[in-house]
Amino acid sequence: MTVILKVFIAVYLVIFLIVTRYSCKNGIIFFWASLFIVPSLLLLNTYIISFINVYLLQIIIISISFVLHKEYRKALFSFFYNNKKPILTLIIAYISIIIFSSTVPLNHQICNLLQELLEISIIVESLIVAQKNNLFVRKLCIVLSILILCNIVYSFVCEIFLRTNFAGTPLYLLMGQEDNAYYTDMINMQRGIMDFRLQSIFAHPLSLGQYFLLLVPIFLCKSRMLNERFRWFMIILLSIGIFLSGTRGALFPLILIVGLFLMKEKIRFVYKLILTLPFLIVLYTFMPLNFQRDIDKYFTSFATYIQFWDDTKQSKSEIEGSSMSMRFEQFEAANDEIKDNPLFGKGRIYREYYQDHHNQLHPKLLGYESFVLLKLVEQGWIGLCMFILLIFYMYRIFKNTYCNVWILQLLFIAFFLSTLMTGIRPFSFLILGMSAVIVSNQKSLSSHYTNVKPL
């Protein structure tokens, strides 16, 4: 890491410390905003403690400020007391998995467990602040909307028109991460009909696709905070970003959750859309032949993104990535990897541990493009079950707010399907928590949204 970056991070942390010292609420908003400003830099080590990187240090600072606040401290202790049984169950299970895992050293795994607990803590603290302060969610929504617009503008100007990404290779060189397989620059990568893949500032197109997908449910909420036209404008922008990123594992869940939403909440819109189909078909038949061919090409490519299970179509459209047959092979490889310890696996962060010791990605599991593969290899079958239990219990906590329950269900469906198809990106769990906090604390204009029975 260069001196320039060290100075930048030092100044950044000082500013963050001042903001958090002045207002814990604004510090939390600052933290969530940072995920959409300097995400790659947040993963850099602070050199204070070996496993503490920039974003974890931010969480620690917020947690200290949070505990020093009398009202927040009381609410935090109350939350842990009311949920002590599942929390203790998860912690005991995770410690047992660490003890009985077979490969990764215990100290590395304990550090990773502490990181996960810190991520859970910032989500809980955000939920408490949202319930205590009515303006918190509104401010967070406004800040996120501005940052999303900035990300989209940056991507269109730099990646599409200038065909360069300053947050890609140039930044990786400054960070000293140019040889890290998890930092990519796909500005010139062919993907179906496109000769590039959008990734903005997020180090990988899969990250952009998954993060944008998890933001969509925020704008599906019919709340007093954002008017309907602006909400749909943001949904369209996020959808364009997901499509241009070439992330099949985000596009399919996007179409699914928006389709379910429209069928349940926008019947008139769907009815009007159906009525326009005959007009579009007639218009298509009168178009010049070359226009029809272009439309056919784009439609075929779009359909191929959705039909991720069809290996033949993926090959014809020149869409590279793990096919369905490859995913089954990876699942077999994952089982083979843990055949000596199927219950507890190789140990947390085995993916990174393998890369550090072999200077390459795993030859068969590659990027572990499913949470099933990652959790199965790292924590065995017990760890995989505990991860699913954690997500389910997280959903139950947010569902108990009885606000936008239907949208909350769509959010967790999107997360589950996306991570099942493309794996867990660095900040996916955090963004899931942030979106759940916003969705579950937006006051709905319609009581119908609040009182929807869970699926």
Cα-based angle 165, 169, 172 (whole degrees, multiple of 5): 125
263 φ/ψ angles, rounded to the nearest 5 degrees = -65, -35
Q: pLDDT, tens digit, for every residue of 229-263?
A: 899 899 999 999 998 888 878 888 998 899 888 88
Is there a domain that residue 29 lies in?
Answer: yes
Helix H segments across 359-451?
Answer: 371-399, 405-422, 428-440, 447-450
Residue 447's pLDDT band (boundaries 50, 70, 90)? very low
Yes or no: say if 433 and 117 are a contact pair by the CB < 8 Å rule.
Answer: no
- Match 């036209």 to its residue by tokens: 229
Structure tokens at 19: 């903001």
For position 446, what pLDDT does the model report? 44
Question: Helices 106-132 and 70-82 meet at what angle, rounded to 10?
Answer: 120
Q: When comparing pLDDT for 364 and 342, which is higher? A: 342
Residue 371 lies in a domain: yes
* Cα 139 from Cα 145, distance rounded (Å): 10
Average pLDDT over the chain, rounded to whole? 82
Backbone angles phi, psi at 357, to 5 degrees: -90, -20
Q: What is the pLDDT of residues 82-130, one digit of tens each?
A: 998 888 999 999 999 999 998 889 988 999 999 999 999 999 999 999 9
> Which residue range is the domain that position 151 belongs to?
3-450
The verdict on residue 455 lying in a domain is: no
Query: Do 119 and 59 form a contact (C-beta atoms < 8 A)?
Result: yes
- The answer to whether residue 78 sits within a structural domain is yes
Give the CA distances from residue 202 to residues 38, 172, 185, 193, in Å, rounded to whole numbers and listed in that order. 8, 12, 10, 22
SS3 16: helix
Alpha carbons 315 and 91: distance in angstroms, whole number: 44
Q: How many domains are there within the chain?
A: 1
pLDDT at 6: 84
- pLDDT surpasses 50 at 451: no
pLDDT tens sequence across 375-410: 999 999 999 999 999 999 999 999 987 778 889 999
Three-class DSSP category at 194: strand
Domain-embedded: residue 328: yes
Q: What is the structure's pLDDT at 192? A: 57
Residue 52 to residues 59, 109, 112, 116, 350, Cα–Cα distance (Å) = 10, 14, 10, 12, 18
pLDDT value of position 450: 42
- Measured CA to CA, the distance from residue 158 to residue 168 in angstroms comes to 11
| Cβ atoms 384, 424 nearer than 8 A | no
pTM, two decimal places: 0.86
Give me the DSSP letters along 220-254. Answer: HS-BSSS-HHHHHHHHHHHHHHHHHHT-HHHHHHH
**Quick check: is 113 in a domain?**
yes
Q: What is the DSSP letter of 288?
A: -
Tens digits of residue pLDDT in 149-174 = 999 999 888 888 888 887 777 777 77
CA separation for the pair 89, 95 (Å, rounded): 10
- 446 C-beta neighbours (distance < 10 Å), count: 10
201 near 39, Cβ under 8 Å? Answer: yes
Q: What is the secondary structure of 31-86 as a DSSP string?
A: HHHHTTTSHHHHTSB-SSSTT-BHHHHHHHHHHHHHHHSHHHHHHHHHHHHHTHHH
Quote the CA–CA distance of 20 and 446 in Å, as a whole number: 35
d(CA 308, CA 301): 11
Query: Can you tell me which residue has the tokens 């200077």?
Result: 359
Query: Is it the case that residue 13 has pLDDT exceeding 80?
Result: yes
Report which of 30, 36, 3 is spatially closest to residue 15, judged by C-alpha positions. Answer: 30
CB 67 within 8 A of CB 76: yes
Q: How far is CA 364 from the centre of its chain?
A: 24
